[in-house]
């Protein structure tokens, strides 16, 4: 209830600040590079990455430096990887669900997701959001029958350098409530893991975000990929 009231009270400021952020924040393109392929050596492991601009690798110039490329580098000496990236900048959960319907049904060992920032910017409530997550992950299991699903938490947007207050504070509150719901949802699933998008840890390691102050940098993608790879190695 408090968040609803705060949102209503702050609407005039949010509109002004939202326009300023759009005007002043550099618009970064999705990185160039292959989004599907095979590489590596060892037992076969198939990976599908789905989601938003972070999944797509916005913040770096090529897929080699993005989440996909960093994950391939982490795993290619241990597994014969079959990988696919299906992500698009600006997509929220509803758009991601619609896009997944366009993919053929195909089994994957691991599905990695990055979802939520664009739902926060639309001020979707955590209750509504977790219902959409139920739909998303039900579809993922139906189409891809993964042995493991790794869900990345919504970034703590109150720490995004590109956002001014009170916009930063409000987005942070929405993200925090979504993560509480997501953590509970993941705990109830037999084959799901959760990775926290831990900006405080990145800052403690002196890792900067991308030039727009909104997306991961190459160093952040590398750390994110290492966390994913560690979870994969524990199960495969």
What is residue 165's predicted lDDT score, i.e. its pLDDT? Answer: 87
Q: Is the peptide bond before 166 cis (omega within 30 degrees of 0)?
A: yes
Range 2-235 has CATH code 3.90.470.10: no
Q: Give which of 32, 39, 108 is closest to 74, Cα–Cα.
A: 39
Q: What is the mean pLDDT of residues 6-19?
A: 76
Per the model's pLDDT, the better-predicted residue between 132 and 11 turns out to be 132
Mean pLDDT of the chain: 92
- Least confident span in 15-19, 109-113, 160-164, 218-222: 15-19
Q: How confident is the model at residue 8 (pLDDT cuts 50, 70, 90)?
A: confident
The pair of structure tokens assigned to 191 is 């084959």
pTM of the model: 0.93
Q: What is the mean pLDDT of residues 67-71?
A: 98
**Contact indicator for 87, 47 with CB cutoff of 8 Å:** no
The pair of structure tokens assigned to 29 is 């393109």
- Spatial neighbors of 36 by CB under 8 A, at least 6 apart, are 83, 84, 85
Is the pLDDT at 153 greater than 80, yes or no?
yes
What is the per-residue DSSP string for 37-59? EEEESSSEEEEEEEESHHHHTTT
Instruction: Report the C-alpha gap between 173 and 179 in whole angstroms.
Output: 10
- Residue keyed to tokens 């493991």: 148
Instruction: Report the C-alpha gap between 51 and 88 in whole angstroms.
Output: 7
What is residue 129's predicted lDDT score, i.e. its pLDDT? Answer: 96
Q: What is the mean pLDDT of residues 94-112?
A: 97
Q: In angstroms, how far is CA 70 from the centroid of its own chain?
A: 15
Q: What is the mean pLDDT of residues 154-175?
A: 89
Q: What angle do CA 228, 195, 215 make, to 5 degrees?
A: 85
């Amino acid at each position: 209830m408090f968040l609803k009231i705060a949102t209503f009270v702050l609407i005039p400021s949010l509109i002004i600040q939202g326009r300023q952020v759009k005007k002043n924040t550099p618009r970064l393109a999705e990185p160039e590079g292959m989004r599907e392929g095979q590489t590596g050596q060892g037992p076969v492991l198939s990976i599908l990455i789905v989601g938003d601009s972070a999944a797509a690798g916005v913040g770096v110039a090529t897929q080699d430096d993005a989440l996909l490329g960093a994950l391939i580098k982490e795993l290619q000496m241990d597994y014969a990887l079959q990988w696919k990236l299906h992500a698009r900048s600006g997509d929220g959960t509803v758009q991601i669900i619609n896009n997944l319907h366009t993919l053929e049904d195909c089994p994957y060992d691991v599905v990695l997701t990055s979802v939520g920032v664009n739902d926060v910017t639309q001020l979707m409530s955590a209750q509504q959001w977790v219902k959409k997550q139920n739909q998303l992950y039900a579809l993922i299991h139906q189409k891809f029958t993964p042995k493991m699903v790794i869900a990345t938490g919504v970034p703590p947007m109150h720490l995004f350098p590109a956002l001014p207050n009170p916009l930063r504070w409000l987005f942070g509150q929405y993200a925090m409530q979504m993560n509480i719901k997501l953590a509970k949802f993941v705990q109830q699933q037999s084959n799901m893991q959760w990775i926290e998008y831990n900006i405080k840890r990145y800052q403690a390691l002196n890792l900067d975000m991308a030039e727009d102050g909104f997306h991961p940098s190459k160093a952040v993608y590398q750390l994110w990929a290492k966390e994913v790879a560690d979870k994969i190695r524990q199960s495969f």
